[in-house]
Structure 1
Amino acid sequence: MSRTSSRRPVGPNTPSVTPVFPLILLETMRDMDRPEELLEGEDLAASMPRRLGLSDVVYLQIHKFREETRKKSLQSSATVEDLIRLVIRRPDCDEIFEEAGRRVARRAWEEKSGASRRWARLLPSGMKMRAAARAARRVIGQLAGTAQLQVQPRPFTVRLRGALTSNADPGGAACAFYTGVVSELMSQYGARPHNAKHVACTARGADACEWNVFVAG
């Protein structure tokens, strides 16, 4: 049965998004810009500024959002959308968004107690899907801002009307963030081999963004 999250009317400047979203997004971009090795004779003063994730601006923003996360200070959708627009300028933006989504889901999983994680892995298949759906409502609900969220366990579907990722990115690449969240959540709850797909997007003319999980067997 589908369930819709209840939200009071809010605007794009109303604090409604966990600061973990922008923090992890910027940290992911930074990590992908770190050189694996330094070439002999490389002029770091010349090469590093071209790596946006290693810039002083991103460093300061990461520090800011770490403090915001420590204080649990919600961010506005507009603030997060501005950062999304920064990332979509990059040719590897899809990879950054999906990896950031996976990291957010892993962070949420690691915050659960060890007993809770073990219990989730031992559940029967049907109960795993319901537990994963509850986790998706909780985790994505913190990331969705002003969007209307619906989650159902069978078939596993996540639906966002007014997703801030598609609002910020007319091309739809930023929605890979939620694809990463959904896919990682399913892995954590021990789902059989699966494939999370972004089957509908407002950037492609749909009335809402939708993710389906196709489970093998």
Structure 2
Amino acid sequence: MSKRSAAGPHTPSVTPVFPLILLETMRDMDKPDEVLEGENLAASMPRRLGLSDVVYLQIHKFREETKKKSLQTPAVVEDLIRLVIRRPDADEIFEEAGRRVARHAWAEKSGASRRWLKLLPSGMRLHAAARGARKVMGEMAGSAQLEVQARPLLVRLRGSLTSTADPGGAACAFYTGVLAELMTQYTGRPHTAQHPRCHARRADACEWTALVAG
């Protein structure tokens, strides 16, 4: 099992892609499916947090930070997580944001690399997926201690950003989405992820495992 040492809680160590995609997902969830006749959008849209000027400015900021590859402190990301957990659809937002992060990471790979991975035997794909999970999770672990096991694939975070920001455990759905989508992309087969151990349930670490869907 490979390990990654933790950074300090106030050390810039988190990819700006994490907060950017989290806010973009919340914004997209708040976009109305349709505009009703006579609806005053100037009055109704500000009530949707994801469409507020504050969120718009934050998205713009993190887009610029992403272009510059400027790492964020865990504290900045935790504040945004606390913003999202107030919502009744927080679980859905976190998991979808995690899946989007994984798709972003996959798209960042060259076309040749993606084609080569699809030609590998299943066992080698799993090891490649574990390496991919370690890289992506490592960029978002912040001050947590990360451990990744290849077979069976298991990700463990001690002091995860999500459990620190949300003692209730809902935010951990973010990493659930990341792992499920990473496995789907690397193996070419739909996967789900389980979160059997969590700080919110008094475990000493948060753990995730991936399974073939269905």
Q: CA deviation at 1:6?
A: 3.4
State the alpha-carbon separation in 2 of the partners of residues 195 and 96 from structure 1.
16
Counterpart pick for 1:148 among 142, 145, 148: 145
Matched, 1:98 2:105: no
Identity level (%): 77
1:57-206 → structure 2 map (5 Å cutoff)? 57-190=54-187, 192-206=189-203
How does the TM-score come out when normalised to structure 2?
Answer: 0.97
Q: Secondary structure at the match of 1:75?
A: coil
Cα 1:75/1:210, change in 2 over 3 Å = same
User: What TM-score does the superposition give when structure 1 sets the normalisation length?
Assistant: 0.95
* Inter-partner Cα distance in structure 1 for 2:105 and 2:8: 26
Deviations 1:65-99, CA, capped at 9 Å, x for gaps: 01111111100000000000000000000010001
Letter in 1 for 2:201: R
CA pair 105-194 structure 1, distance change in 2 beyond 3 A: closer
Q: Where do 4+ consecutive residues of structure 1 move more than 6 Å?
A: none
- Is 2:183 the partner of 1:209? no
Please give the secondary structure, in 2, of the residue aligned with 1:118: helix
Q: Which one-letter code corresponds to 2:140 in the other structure?
A: L
Distance 1:36 1:12 in 2: 39
Question: Is 1:3 aligned with 2:18?
Answer: no
Partner of 1:32: 29
Gapped runs of 5+ residues in structure 1?
none
1:99-143 Cα distance to aligned partner (Å, 9 max, x none): 100111101100111110011111111101100000000011001
Contact 1:101-1:181 within 8 A present in 2 as well: yes
Deviates more, 1:121-130 or 1:81-90: 121-130
**Aligned 8 A contact 2:13 2:74 in 1:** yes
Q: Alignment partner for residue 54 of structure 1, among 48, 51, 54?
A: 51
Q: Distance in 1 between matches of 2:140 and 2:116?
A: 25
Structure 1 SS opposite 2:96: helix
Equivalenced residues, count:
214
Mean CA deviation greater in 188-197 or 130-139: 188-197
